A and B are shown apart, each in its own frame.
Chain A
């Protein structure tokens, strides 16, 4: 069997999400490190040939090239760990998982932009981006507050799914741009549960204290 190859930047939140999910799924990824900062290597001709958007993540596997976190996570799980508990086996939980993953894909861009603005002087107004990031994460905090009352600890139900791993980096890294976790008490409780999943690991900026 081929081995999936992740074009990776250690400080990128999406790349971390993919490494995190692969670790929890028990999948070994080949990593090819891309010098995003300061090298801007994601804009090199070779990388643009792989992903014309000029951004990470990029995952290749044989003839396949994928550039979206959502499709990469689903592809890895379906191809290499289809029976893993992080992949719901019932249609209802599977649909909920996909719904939360789609929402994460559609709404969390301000978190990455605020972080790039604060850490790498990327364009944008930090106060506005921080406010947008807060608004985006609040949708998930609102949901987890209700989940807590229902006695369900994760986004799609009582057990963790890929959706939780997809959301985790965006929440865990908010302090990089001065947004504290006290604004999201339900997510803070949820994050402690995610940290206890088998195979969980951190990245720079996500404290490792367990």
Chain B
């Protein structure tokens, strides 16, 4: 299956300089990492050597190193160093698969396939990310009530809600058929003195939403005759 477009995979603030994290998108493993200078990268989460997840590795300067045998890759995906063969001029063919990357609206976006222009969004503060064991449609249906919003507008994988705690911009992230992540941001508001109380209220509402959607989904799954979907743990 090929995926095309830009996908929000994390809050920008969740990936700090010099760190890496895994992110699953519709079943595909992606590694997000920031080099020491703070520049973000999105690659296939697979070391070209033996297939170890690069997200288990660690960042050194502007390289990411695989945890397994220590092969290091530069920002362009090219392998730069193989510790077992320190003198070797590493062949150009050893290269990790790289994706488009954008940091916009407080989110990190990966561009896959024919992805076109990167999103260009207004600045926003991070709230939190939640992972929900439920299909994305069940999560979407519950969003307006959970945040006391009258309606929801969708712009691709970005859901916008006007709430009593301000303007919520949520990155929708489908990990698989039964698992959805929400990356919640709150648009900056010139009226704000301190957005912390509003963001705490939104974070709590997101946690409640997760618990309610999961309870409803698992209740439905437990009813005999309801088709049981794949294992999600």
User: CB within 8 Å of B: which residues of A?
Assistant: 127-128, 130-131, 134, 142, 145-146, 148-151, 175, 179-183, 185-186, 188-189, 192, 207, 209
Contact = CB atoms under 8 A, between A and B. Distances in A.
B58 A209 contact: yes
B67 A131 contact: no
Interface in B198-217: 199-200, 203-204, 207
A185 B14 contact: yes
B140 interface: no
A146 B58 contact: no
Given A127-B231, A127-B233, A131-B233, A185 B196 contact: no
Contacts of A151: 196
Nearest to A180: B22
Interface in B49-66: 55-58, 65
B172 to A, nearest CB: 16
Nearest to A144: B128
B10 A146 contact: no
For the complex of A and B, the 10 pairs showing the least CB-CB separation, nearest first, are A209-B58, A145-B128, A131-B233, A185-B14, A130-B233, A182-B22, A127-B233, A185-B129, A183-B131, A149-B199
Given A182-B23, A183-B131, A189 B14 contact: yes
21 contacts: A128-B233, A131-B233, A145-B207, A149-B128, A149-B199, A150-B196, A150-B200, A180-B55, A182-B21, A182-B55, A183-B131, A185-B10, A185-B14, A185-B21, A186-B14, A188-B14, A192-B19, A207-B56, A209-B57, A209-B65, A209-B67
Interface string B30-61: 00000000000000000000000001111000
A189 B21 CA distance: 10
B58 A142 contact: no
Contact of B22 (A130, A181, A186): A181
Interface in B120-159: 127-129, 131
Contacts of A188: 14, 21
B97 interface: no
B127 A149 contact: yes
A187 B131 CA distance: 13
Contacts of A145: 128-129, 203, 207
A35 B204 CA distance: 45
Contacts of B16: 189, 192
